[in-house]
Amino acid sequence: MAGTVHFPYQYRLRRTALKALVAGMMSACLLSAQFLPGAHVILAKDLPTVSEEIFAMDTYMSISASGEAAREAVDASLEEIRRLDDLWSVGNEDSEVARLNRHESVELSEDTRSILERAIQIGTDTEGAFDITIFPLMQEWGFTTGDYKVPSDKRRSELLRYVDVSALDMDMDGACSLPENVQIDLGGIAKGYTSDRAMEIFEEYGVDGGIVSLGGNVETYRTKADGSAWRVGIRNPDPSVPALLGSELTGIVQASDLAVITSGGYERYFEKDGITYHHILDPGTGMPADSGLISVTIVSRDGCLADALSTSLFVMGKEKALEYWETHSDSFDVILVEEDGKITVTRGLDGIFSSELKYEIYPEG
């Protein structure tokens, strides 16, 4: 651009041109500095921030921490993610879950036992809206492989017979195996369990603040380097809905020591004969949940719970989801987005949730 600048008075100002140029540059620098984005951030960031990314658990993950031991904490978190992925991946035939699914007798590791206990407990508490035994149907639909197909009604009802979280009521001390025809997938809870582990690691290493996003499952540790809460944007599930039009986000949650986990049909889906089929299957029907909700965000100190509930409340639908919240409001809050773009936010988020869009706080008043 500089080469194209023409200065019509140049010939009359030969002696002062240089002075003018110098003074002009100085004023330009002053003017620019004021608008320089991020200038204040550089000042606030006197501690190193370490960020890494990793593809694991069939998703993209990023891990970030600041403070003196940030490097060690982030490396330890990556190692933990790989370790847990190796335990639970359905694609890795040596994983404990893959071996259980082949109906081998498996001596469970402590982590597998504890995630199974959580999965069963949440499954029972949500009356089966969350159910890790949905795996054979996930496979039949092709959501585990990307080889999508719509199962026949017959095949679906055959497989549904073995979807039953209470079938997992088993003694997990010592070697144990799954009941006949029952198979499991920890995909709906593993990332939450893993982000909780990352928070524990951040705590052990004494980092000043940190954040992880495991495929859009976010969990925050303390605050940003400048002491302010992490700003977690909630993805707009469908910008083509008139009430949500043109907005990238449904809103922003200011989070500190909280998991913010969202489930929506947009995460994984395919189209067949003009119909869109998404990956959140209703364990009651074996079909993609059609509850009128298009996105559910759970905010909780418990990432494992938040992960499992984001899918279960999606399956339940608005009315049941809010009923469930009423009896569990001490352990989580929720943001619900309906097909028509209506946004409902539970009372505990009042003050930390903000949005350009219209939303309602539940319960009113």
Partner 1 sequence: MGKRDIMLLAALFAVGAMLFVFFRFNRAEGARAVVRVSGEEYGSYDLTMDQTVEIHGRDGGTNLLQIQDGKASVTEASCPDLLCVHQGKVSRQGESIICLPNEVVVEITGAMEEVPYDVISG
Q: Tell me the residue ranges of DSSP E strands in 185-342.
A: 209-214, 217-222, 230-235, 249-255, 259-264, 269-272, 275-278, 293-300, 333-338
Nearer to partner 1, 57 or 163 (CB): 57
Q: Which of 9, 46, 174, 275 binds partner 1 (CB under 8 A)?
A: 9
Per rule CB under 8 A, is residue 149 in the interface with partner 1?
Answer: no
Residue in 12, 14, 154, 161 binding partner 1, rule: CB under 8 A: 12
Among 160, 167, 225, 252, binds partner 1 (CB under 8 A): 252
Residue from 365, 362, 281 nearest 325 by CA: 362
Applying CB under 8 A, the span of 121-129, 177-185, 227-235, 357-365 interacting with partner 1 comes to 227-235
Query: Is 232 an interacting residue with respect to partner 1 (CB under 8 A)?
Result: yes
Asked if 69 interacts with partner 1 (CB under 8 A), we say no
Q: Which of 222, 195, 178, 184 is nearest to 77 (CA)?
A: 195
Exposure string over 46-85, b if 16+ CB within 10 A, otherwise e: eeebbeeebebbeeebebbbbbebbebbbebbbebbeebb
Q: Work out whether 192 is an interface residue with partner 1 (CB under 8 A).
A: no
Can residue 270 be called a binding residue for partner 1 (CB under 8 A)?
Answer: yes
Any contact of residue 82 with partner 1 (CB under 8 A)?
no
In the complex, minimum distance from the CB of residue 81 to partner 1, in angstroms, rounded to a whole number: 13
Q: How far apart are CA 37 and CA 288, in angstroms?
A: 44
Provide the token pair at 15.
């002696």
What is the rounded (10 degree) CA torsion for 326, 329, 334, 340?
Answer: 10
List contacts with partner 1 (CB under 8 A). Answer: 1-2, 5, 7, 9, 12-13, 16-17, 19-21, 23-25, 27-29, 31-32, 35-38, 52-55, 58-60, 146-147, 211, 213, 216-218, 224, 230-235, 237, 248-249, 252-253, 260-262, 264, 266-268, 270, 295, 297
